Amino acid sequence: MARPVWTGVLSFGLVSVPIGIYTATDSHTIHFHQLQRGTSDRIRNRRVNERTGEEVDLDDIVKGYDTGEEYVLVEPAELDDIAPGRSKTLEISGFVDLAEIDPIFFDRTYYVGPKGKEYSKVYALLEKALAKAERAGVATFVMRGREYLVALKAEDGILTLHTLHWADEIRDPREEVPDLPAASGRGTGSSREMKMAEQLITALGMRWDPEEFRDTYQDKVSALIKAKGAGETVEKAEAAAEATNVVDLTEALRASVERARGGGRRAGGGGRRKSAASGKPLDSLTKAELYERATAAGIPGRSTMTRAELAEALTSSDSEAA
């Protein structure tokens, strides 16, 4: 069982229940060590006094706020003293419709569990009540020296806690992002282009299933590490797609709708290119699949080829074999 990252009391009205908060997600990011080039020597970071150059013990390090003229020093105990009890209480201020909270406010998700079987009844009561009301409890609490705004909701028989950004942490997109179209909607294209854009969205409609998605970049990093460890080369990624020219927007939308509906064909007439080995159309294969076949066929220069070049090389190889 995992250890809670925070323990305290959840209170709503005059009802209180001891709880523990647990991490709900994992990161599958591959982590690298820093080494000096040409060696296997690790690079280490040390806490060093920038004036003397000497290493400083952790116990001798304090927090300091730069006022512009001097540093104001603050001890960890002083930070705890200004919030007595707050670091052990998660108090619900009220309940809101979860749909009212803009997704931009959501940050991290945690699981919430009762601290002891004797509190299961109160915990279950709150979970079922929230699920039936389809509402979320809004609360604040202090964890690791920081105050959090959170939303507490019921989800599949368990309470989940979602940390939220404070209102003043959300940046104004009009001030941050250049070249945004006018809010009036002018310059968004013709009615025909708008209709085709809507058709494309409809044609690409799907049911949300997170299991259908995978972090392919991490897979490629793992493959790169494995290949380099074996002294092999790996395929290069395709170049980024070019931006759609405004003049070609209508044609690009039309072709996209046709392809999404399954009616798209390669320009140039003939049938789709197939692999002699399996009879499967080459243009239906991913670049990774094409690269695997190019490796089996011994095609030179494959590590620098794009997907289209791999397909062309395999077609030529099949023709020569025939």
Point out the domain boundary residue: 137, 169, 201.
169
Within a domain: residue 18?
Answer: yes
Helix (H) or strand (E) holding 220: helix 216-229
Within a domain: residue 311?
Answer: yes
Mean pLDDT of 176-199: 80
Query: pLDDT class for 272, splitting at 50, 70, 90?
Result: very low
pTM of the model: 0.66
What is the phi/psi pair of residue 278, to 5°? -125, -15
Point out the domain boundary residue: 169, 201, 223.
169
- Per DSSP bridges, beta strands 146-155 and 89-97 are unpaired
Within a domain: residue 67?
Answer: no
Please tell me whether residues 191 and 160 are part of one structural domain.
no
Please tell me whether residues 196 and 256 are part of one structural domain.
yes
Within a domain: residue 148?
Answer: yes
Within a domain: residue 320?
Answer: yes
Point out the domain boundary residue: 264, 285, 300.
264
Residue 62 pLDDT more than 70?
Answer: yes
State which residues form the domain around 115.
Answer: 6-25+82-169
Helix (H) or strand (E) holding 280: none
Residue 85 pLDDT more than 70?
Answer: no
For residues 38 and 69, what is the distance between their CA atoms, to the nearest angstrom? 45
For residues 111 and 92, what is the distance between their CA atoms, to the nearest angstrom? 16
Residue 115 pLDDT more than 50?
Answer: yes
Please tell me whether residues 110 and 239 are part of one structural domain.
no
Mean confidence (pLDDT) of the chain: 83
Query: pLDDT class for 185, splitting at 50, 70, 90?
Result: low
Mean pLDDT of 99-121: 94
- Are the CB atoms for 124 and 118 separated by under 8 Å? no
Please tell me whether residues 99 and 129 are part of one structural domain.
yes
Q: Which CATH number belongs to the domain containing residue 107 in this structure?
A: 2.40.290.10
Please tell me whether residues 93 and 157 are part of one structural domain.
yes
Total domains, the chain: 3
Please tell me whether residues 21 and 90 are part of one structural domain.
yes
Please tell me whether residues 21 and 164 are part of one structural domain.
yes
Please tell me whether residues 18 and 89 are part of one structural domain.
yes
Please tell me whether residues 230 and 93 are part of one structural domain.
no
Residue 88 pLDDT more than 80?
Answer: yes
Residue 121 pLDDT more than 80?
Answer: yes
Within a domain: residue 64?
Answer: no
Residue 186 pLDDT more than 80?
Answer: no
Q: How many residues does the chain have?
A: 322
The closest of 153, 171, 159 to 99, measured between CA atoms, is 153
**Which residue shows structure tokens 């085709």?**
196
Please tell me whether residues 19 and 92 are part of one structural domain.
yes
Identify the bridge partners of residue 19 per DSSP, sorted by sequence position. 8, 114
Within a domain: residue 149?
Answer: yes
Please tell me whether residues 152 and 236 are part of one structural domain.
no
- Please indicate whether residue 69 or residue 182 has the higher confidence score (pLDDT): 69
The predicted structure's pLDDT at residue 258:
82
Within a domain: residue 47?
Answer: no
For residues 10 and 65, what is the distance between their CA atoms, to the nearest angstrom? 33
The closest of 273, 282, 281, 290 to 236, measured between CA atoms, is 290
249: which residues sit within 8 A by CB, 6+ positions away?
189, 193
The predicted structure's pLDDT at residue 65:
93
Please tell me whether residues 112 and 19 are part of one structural domain.
yes
Residue 301 pLDDT more than 80?
Answer: no
